[in-house]
Amino acid sequence: MSTSNQKVLIIQDASKELCAVSIREALRSLSLTPGAKVKLLGIIPAFRTAHRFYPLRCGLGLKSRLQSSVTINKKKEDIEQQVQQMMDEYSRCSHIARIWRQAEIQKVGFEIAVEAGSLKEVAVDYAKSYGATHVILPRYTVV
């Protein structure tokens, strides 16, 4: 495989603290050559449900509810707004600014993307579509 085709995907749970240490370590330790690409993917859990099962009351163990299209559209708008807010937050982060500078020095492309959905599904689908040669799933240590 050609070294210029290196594509590193760093996956972050966007609902947690940004782990800039793992991004900096990836740029340092992977021996990335000029022309390589590094992408930070923040994933926002889109549909969180606290509990599907409610305490047994009146013999009902599972509570289900039909939602109108208005409710679903509102949730989509909220998710799109969260994605945009997270992109803004990442772009204003001082740690990300240092990573941009480090990537420029190494002549490595650095991008940021934010997606919403199931962490596992989005991570796998994005890694496949991006053509990642390396996938980094950082532990959540504070910067």
Domain ranges of the chain: 3-46+67-136
Q: Which residue has the tokens 């941009």?
A: 100
For residues 128 and 50, the model is more confident at 128
| Per-residue confidence band for 60, with pLDDT thresholds at 50, 70 and 90 | very low
| Per-residue confidence band for 91, with pLDDT thresholds at 50, 70 and 90 | confident
**pLDDT for 79:** 83
| Helix (H) / strand (E) containing 128 | helix 119-130
* Percent share of the chain, pLDDT over 90: 22
pLDDT at 74 over 90: no
| Per-residue confidence band for 127, with pLDDT thresholds at 50, 70 and 90 | very high
Q: What CATH architecture does domain 3-46+67-136 belong to?
A: 3-Layer(aba) Sandwich (3.40)
**pLDDT for 36:** 92
Is 110:23 a contact under the CB 8 Å cutoff?
no
* Percent share of the chain, pLDDT over 70: 73
pLDDT at 142 over 60: no
Q: What are the backbone dihedrals phi and psi of residue 113, each rounded to the nearest 5 degrees, phi first?
A: -140, 150
**pLDDT for 128:** 95
* pTM to 2 decimal places: 0.73
Most confident option among 20-24, 26-30, 83-87, 125-129 = 125-129
68-76 long-range CB contacts below 8 Å, 24 or more apart? 75/47
Is 20:50 a contact under the CB 8 Å cutoff?
no
pLDDT at 64 over 60: no
